[in-house]
Amino acid sequence: MSKIPKGLELFSISLIFGGAVGNLIDRILLGKVVDFIDFYVGTWHWPAFNVADSALTIGIILFMLAAIMQSKKPSSGQ
């Protein structure tokens, strides 16, 4: 069994958990989640987000990639 998907799965779950906890802390302490990263590309406005949102998004993408890598791995004969 390859160690790359297991490490990637652990890292992605850590990002998801950290992002969720970060947003939960904001929600409990402030009553809202503070989105402070806000930028424009020309006249196009990207929705505001925060570091916790980024961690959640990256974690979910990495978890899906790990699942795809795991499903494409040849199964060992039993």
Neighbours of 36 (CB within 10 A): 8
Out of 9, 20, 26, 53, which one is annotated catalytic?
A: 53
In degrees, to the nearest 5, what angle opens at C-alpha 76 toward C-alphas 73 and 78? 155
Contact of 11 with 25, CB cutoff 8 Å: no
Q: Annotated catalytic, 35? A: yes
Which residues partner with 76 through β-bridges?
A: none
Out of 20, 35, 54, 69, which one is annotated catalytic?
A: 35
Q: Annotated catalytic, 26? A: no
Catalytic residues: 35, 53
